[in-house]
A and B are shown apart, each in its own frame.
Chain A
């Protein structure tokens, strides 16, 4: 591999990592929006983030990931069955 190729390789790697970082930020954004609506639904923002709300937010993130996993698996199975969208 020439120095030029190694150079390009490293650059592409950096771009990939930056892309993943951006994707992560986007996911945090989406989740904050959804979980805020769920966990702060009924009351005005409290003076402190209490333990109950913290647990709600953490559970919200994990259940959203679970839900995403579940739906992806389900859709993949349907796809394998041959009657999914084409």
Chain B
């Protein structure tokens, strides 16, 4: 997608703020949707491996724990990655240039 710099220059600070706000909201929405999709998949597969006639209390407990542990893992991984990226930035010159995928 090409960006027309002339168009960007014409934007008022208010319009710029609106665009930025819109981008952030879209990203937050996409991120939340992705997280929910991921959670549902991982936890339902893990906790409901042999489906019975109804959701058992054991399965419900498993699902609850699964959701909690997954969110905790997300937070721990976020902190760990942030720390690692800071270290990499200090080291400089490393091959890691935010290209991890």
Q: Which positions in A face B, CB cutoff 8 Å? A: 4-5, 7-8, 11-12, 14-15, 18, 20-33, 35-37, 39-40, 44-47, 49, 54, 57-58, 60-62, 64-65, 68-69, 72-73, 76
* Interface Cβ pair total, 8 Å cutoff: 114
Pick the contact of A36 from B62, B73, B98 — CB < 8 Å? B73
Indicate if the CB atoms of A32 and B13 lie closer than 8 Å. Answer: no
Q: Is the interface of A mostly helix, strand, loop or mixed?
A: helix
Question: What separation, in Å, do the CA atoms of A36 and B68 have in the docked complex?
Answer: 13
Indicate if the CB atoms of A18 and B23 lie closer than 8 Å. Answer: yes
Indicate if the CB atoms of B38 and A33 lie closer than 8 Å. Answer: yes
Indicate if the CB atoms of B78 and A28 lie closer than 8 Å. Answer: yes
